[in-house]
Amino acid sequence: MLYYLFEYLEKEFQFPGASLFGFITFRAAMAVILSLLISTIYGKRIINYLRRKQVGETIRELGLEGQQEKAGTPTMGGIIIILSTLIPVLMFAKLDNIYIILLLITTIWMGIIGFIDDYIKKFKKDKDGLKGRFKVLGQVGLGLIVGVTLYFHQDVTIKEKASVNQQEIVVNQQSNLPQFLPESKSTKTTIPFVKQNEFEYSSLITWISPSLDKYTWIVFILIVIFIITAVSNGANLTDGIDGLAAGTSAIIVLTLGIFAWVSGNIIFSDYLNIMYIPRVEEITIYIAAFVGALVGFLWYNTYPAQVFMGDTGSLTIGGIIAVIAIAVRKEWLIPVLCGIFLAENLSVVMQVSWFKYTRKKYGEGRRIFRMSPLHHHYQKGGYHESKIVTRFWIIGILLAIVTIVTLKIR
The tens digit of pLDDT for each residue in 221-273 reads: 999 999 999 999 999 999 888 899 999 999 999 999 999 999 998 888 888 88
Whether 172 is covered by a domain: the verdict is no
What percentage of the chain has pLDDT greater than the value 70?
Answer: 92
Q: What is the mean pLDDT of the chain?
A: 88
Q: Which residues contact 254 (CB under 8 A, 6 or more apart)?
A: 287, 291, 400
CA distance 320 to 190: 19
Tell me the mean pLDDT in the region 153-177: 67
CA distance 339 to 397: 10
- What is the predicted pLDDT for the residue at 55? 72
User: What are φ and ψ of residue 66, in 5° steps?
Assistant: 75, 10
User: 58 pLDDT band (50/70/90 cuts)?
Assistant: low
Q: How many CB atoms are located within 10 Å of the residue 30 CB?
A: 19
Whether 181 is covered by a domain: the verdict is no
Tell me the mean pLDDT in the region 345-370: 91
Whether 173 is covered by a domain: the verdict is no
CA distance 291 to 285: 10
The single-letter code of the amino acid at 347 is S
CA distance 303 to 284: 30
Whether 166 is covered by a domain: the verdict is no
Residue 60 carries which DSSP code?
P
User: 178 pLDDT band (50/70/90 cuts)?
Assistant: low
User: 329 pLDDT band (50/70/90 cuts)?
Assistant: very high
Count of the separate structural domains present in the chain: 1
CA distance 346 to 372: 9
Whether 26 is covered by a domain: the verdict is yes
**Listed ranges 64-68, 233-237, 363-367; the one with the highest mean pLDDT:** 233-237
**Which H/E stretch holds residue 293?**
helix 283-301
Whether 179 is covered by a domain: the verdict is no
Beta-carbon-side half-sphere exposure of residue 291 (alpha carbons within 13 Å): 22
Tell me the mean pLDDT in the region 47-67: 71
The single-letter code of the amino acid at 94 is K
Q: Which residues contact 310 (CB under 8 A, 6 or more apart)?
A: 75, 76, 77, 78, 114, 117, 118
CA distance 234 to 251: 15
Whether 163 is covered by a domain: the verdict is no
Beta-carbon-side half-sphere exposure of residue 174 (alpha carbons within 13 Å): 4
- What is the predicted pLDDT for the residue at 64? 67
Q: How many CB atoms are located within 10 Å of the residue 199 CB?
A: 16
- What is the predicted pLDDT for the residue at 154? 93
- Residue 303: closest CA among 240, 236, 241: 241
- What is the predicted pLDDT for the residue at 61? 58
**Structural domain span for residue 375:** 2-59+66-156+190-406
Tens-place pLDDT, residues 86-111: 999 999 999 999 999 999 999 999 99
- What is the predicted pLDDT for the residue at 98? 96
User: What are φ and ψ of residue 357, in 5° steps?
Assistant: -65, -50
Given a cut of 90, whether residue 38 has pLDDT beyond it is: yes
CA distance 246 to 269: 29
Given a cut of 90, whether residue 21 has pLDDT beyond it is: no
Contact 213, 254 (CB under 8 A): no
- Residue 180: closest CA among 166, 191, 190: 166
Contact 235, 370 (CB under 8 A): no
146 burial via Cβ count (<10 Å: 0-12, 13-18, 19+):
buried
Least confident of 44-48, 83-87, 104-108, 219-223: 44-48
Contact 2, 21 (CB under 8 A): yes
- Residue 46: closest CA among 76, 86, 87: 76
Higher pLDDT, 51 or 318: 318
Tell me the mean pLDDT in the region 305-310: 90
Higher pLDDT, 308 or 165: 308
Give the E-state strand segments of 53-151 in sequence order: none
What percentage of the chain has pLDDT greater than the value 90?
Answer: 60
Whether 271 is covered by a domain: the verdict is yes
User: 169 pLDDT band (50/70/90 cuts)?
Assistant: very low
Tell me the mean pLDDT in the region 56-74: 65
Given a cut of 60, whether residue 375 has pLDDT beyond it is: yes
Tell me the mean pLDDT in the region 333-348: 94
Tell me the mean pLDDT in the region 343-358: 93
User: What are φ and ψ of residue 259, in 5° steps?
Assistant: -60, -45
